[in-house]
Amino acid sequence: MGGIDLGQVTTALIAIIAVPLVLLGYIILGEQVIERLPDRIQEWIRPYFWALPAIGFATVFMVYPLLRTVVISFRNNADTDWIGLANYQYFFTFPDTLTSLRNSLLWLVFYTFFAVFLGLIIAILVDRVKYESLAKIAIFLPVPISAVAASIIWKFMFDYQPPGTTQTGTLNAAIGLVGHDPVAWLVNATTNNAALIFVGVWTAVGFCMVIISASLKAISSEVLEAARIDGANEFQIVRLVITPLLWPTITVVGTTMLINALKTFDIVYVMTNGAYNTDVIATQMFTQLQHNHLSRAAAVGVVLFVAIIPLLVVNVRRFQQQEEQR
């Protein structure tokens, strides 16, 4: 819509050409200086020199905003005065935010459990069938779909029509076959959170399966054979041999899922926008931002961040352990 703004094009061109040139200049000129230094200092200074722009960017775009967010969460909305813990008090006492906290907890437990558990089961099962890649593709298909598109697809699946009329929603058509009245999945308080979490699991199982399956392939068949010779049945092998060997991978996938669960936004926003008590922390933060309750939103963000820190720590430790093993 509308014409192309020449000013914007010029800015973009300058950015495309000038920015890489500046970076290149920084590197070439810097290298020339460094090369003249004694070898020992070269070795020491070069990584810092190369990493400096990245550190600068991370500081400007990540560290500073993070610190600012923490500061703002203790200040009033106009950022003129300290108000102590008022924003946090709001978050932990207001019914809406408490509901969102409860729902995020539901996501945390059920989304993570089902995504990882089903991913593990499916990975183990498809490992034993002939048409493995076909089955894997089918399970993996939802992963590249954007969460918004997935939510819209599932809105159609959950569609509700008055009892006695043709059910256009697949689920209600299915339960209609066995004579059950249609269920308003997204409205009914007993089904709506489960329905949303189900959509989340649907989009995540494929991811869990692929990762777990990859590390399953790394388990030597000799180990399994040895277990079989020792008289273990298949259930025992899965429980006592495969699962422990997969444990590091399961932890990494699990923590990733936990973080995803805490960050859940799009599915809830698109399907219910938090109606009928389905709000989660991230949609709550968005609502606060939308109405310029910036310091309240900051407090919600800080709570979310603090909740994620332990998971990050676990994840990073795992990665380090895996690096060391290699």
| Residue span binding other proteins (CB under 8 A) among the ranges 72-80, 135-143, 254-262, 300-308 | 72-80
Nearest approach in angstroms of CB 25 to other proteins is 12
| Residue span binding other proteins (CB under 8 A) among the ranges 5-13, 225-233, 235-243, 302-310 | 5-13
Of 104 and 255, which CB lies nearer to other proteins in the complex structure?
A: 104
Q: Is 212 in the site for other proteins (CB under 8 A)?
A: no
Q: Which of 33, 51, 85, 125 binds other proteins (CB under 8 A)?
A: 51
| Residue span binding other proteins (CB under 8 A) among the ranges 10-18, 65-73, 128-136, 220-228 | 10-18
Residues 6+ positions from 4 with CB-CB distance below 8 Å: none
Burial of 127 (C-beta count, 10 Å sphere; 0-12/13-18/19+): middle
Nearest approach in angstroms of CB 214 to other proteins is 23
User: Which of the residues 278 through 317 are near other proteins (CB under 8 A)?
Assistant: 287-288, 290-291, 293
Q: Is 47 in the site for other proteins (CB under 8 A)?
A: yes
User: Which of the residues 179 through 208 are near other proteins (CB under 8 A)?
Assistant: 182, 184, 186-189
d(CA 111, CA 258) in angstroms, rounded, equals 8
Nearest approach in angstroms of CB 134 to other proteins is 35
Nearest approach in angstroms of CB 149 to other proteins is 14
Nearest approach in angstroms of CB 287 to other proteins is 5
Q: Which of 38, 84, 162, 179 binds other proteins (CB under 8 A)?
A: 162
Q: Is 95 in the site for other proteins (CB under 8 A)?
A: yes
Number of residues in contact with other proteins, rule: CB under 8 A?
54
Of 184 and 224, which CB lies nearer to other proteins in the complex structure?
A: 184
Of 133 and 273, which CB lies nearer to other proteins in the complex structure?
A: 273
Tell which phi-psi region holds residue 273, choosing left (phi > 0), alpha (psi between -120 and 50) or beta. left
| Contact positions vs other proteins (CB under 8 A) | 1-2, 5, 7-8, 11-12, 14-16, 19-20, 22-23, 27, 46-47, 50-51, 53-54, 57, 76-78, 83, 90, 94-96, 159-163, 165, 182, 184, 186-189, 269-270, 272-276, 287-288, 290-291, 293
